[in-house]
């Protein structure tokens, strides 16, 4: 993967940041994207660049806006060169009973978790096609494979991104471009930390029981997944070794979807 150019969306924390570390460690130059404290983001980028000797640049694009998705992809090509690897990882969650689920949250979750990937793929593909090589990985979820209550928008968007993955993978296979989805179980990152209070509210469980009752219950391994475990699976799907894997939805879920 030496000298490949990668864009990892939603990579200022959690799985995305671990993926940037992994890809840079394997020789990629990477565009980081997402929200957060700017000084902290700059520190993370500088630390990864220093440790790996790779170029790590940052885009603050808000991926709920299609024009910002397109601008980010153009910016990555300008600053780093033609994009070889696209990891559509940005995600947001909202938990509420169906009757109270806000319309604006439905729109936001569909925009960030699903539509942003479509717009980024569309922007990335022409130059991948020209060069006859490309890797696209979309971060779905176990909730792209099975349902869960109180998460209509997230479950719909994550099922949708697996559909997008399958369609795109067939169309782009003759061009040397693969497109796969990764389906994590529960990884303790800010997205889960922010959900604990919402989950307590809709389930009536005390906050200290939510993690076990809602998130760990279905994982036979009985433990949280580390962001690095997901990142190494993503990096594998971005490698030359994974050239015959396309259209797959790979669970990294401690067995969540086996029962």
Interface residue list for ligand NAD (CB under 6 A): 10-16, 33-36, 62-64, 89-92, 112, 139, 141, 184, 186-187, 189-192
- Tell me how far apart the alpha carbons of residues 18 and 10 are, in angstroms, rounded to a whole number: 11
Cα angle vertex 8, ends 241, 156, to 5°? 95
Query: What's the closest the beta carbon of residue 106 comes to ligand NAD, in angstroms?
Result: 15
Number of neighbours of residue 97 by Cβ within 10 angstroms = 11
Catalytic option among 34, 86, 154, 251 = 154
Answer yes or no: 58 catalytic.
Answer: no
Q: Taking the complex as a whole, how short is the minimal distance between the CB of residue 185 and ligand NAD, in angstroms? A: 6
Q: Which is nearer to ligand NAD, 132 or 220 (CB)?
A: 220
For residues 7 and 14, is the Cβ–Cβ distance under 8 A? no
* Coil vs helix vs strand at 56: strand
| Contact predicate 177/128, CB 8 Å | yes
* Least gap, CB of 113 to ligand NAD (angstroms): 6
Pick the closer one to ligand NAD by CB: 1 or 142. 142
Least separation, in Å, of the C-beta of 215 and ligand NAD? 7
Angstrom CA distances, 210 to 113, 196, 223, stand at 24, 6, 14
Q: Of 152 and 184, which CB lies nearer to ligand NAD in the complex structure?
A: 184
Dihedral in degrees, nearest 10, Cα atoms 192, 17, 239, 219: -20
Please, which residue, 16 or 160, has the CB nearer to ligand NAD?
16
Q: Pick the closest to residue 51 from 22, 76, 31, 77 (CA basis).
A: 22
Name the residues annotated as catalytic: 154
């Amino acid at each position: 993967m030496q000298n490949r150019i990668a864009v990892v969306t939603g990579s200022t924390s959690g799985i995305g940041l671990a993926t940037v570390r992994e890809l840079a460690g394997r020789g990629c130059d990477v565009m980081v994207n997402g929200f957060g404290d700017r000084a902290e983001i700059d520190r993370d980028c500088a630390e990864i660049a220093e440790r790996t000797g790779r170029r790590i640049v940052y885009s603050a694009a808000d991926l709920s806006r299609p024009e910002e998705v397109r601008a980010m992809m153009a910016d990555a090509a300008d600053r780093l060169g033609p994009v070889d690897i696209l990891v559509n990882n940005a995600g947001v969650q909202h938990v509420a009973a169906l009757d109270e689920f806000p319309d604006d949250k439905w729109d936001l979750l569909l925009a960030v978790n699903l539509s942003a990937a479509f717009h980024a793929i569309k922007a990335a593909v022409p130059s991948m096609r020209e060069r006859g090589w490309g890797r696209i990985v979309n971060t779905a979820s176990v909730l792209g494979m099975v349902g869960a209550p109180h998460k209509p928008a997230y479950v719909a968007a994550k099922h949708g991104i697996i559909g997008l993955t399958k369609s795109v993978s067939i169309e782009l296979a003759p061009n040397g471009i693969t497109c796969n989805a990764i389906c994590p179980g529960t990884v303790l990152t800010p997205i889960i930390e922010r959900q604990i209070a919402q989950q307590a509210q809709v389930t009536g469980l005390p906050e200290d029981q939510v993690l076990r009752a809602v998130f760990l219950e279905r994982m036979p391994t009985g433990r949280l997944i580390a962001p690095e475990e997901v990142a190494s699976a993503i990096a594998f799907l971005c490698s030359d070794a994974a050239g015959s894997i396309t259209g797959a939805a790979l669970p990294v879920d401690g067995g969540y979807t086996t029962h």
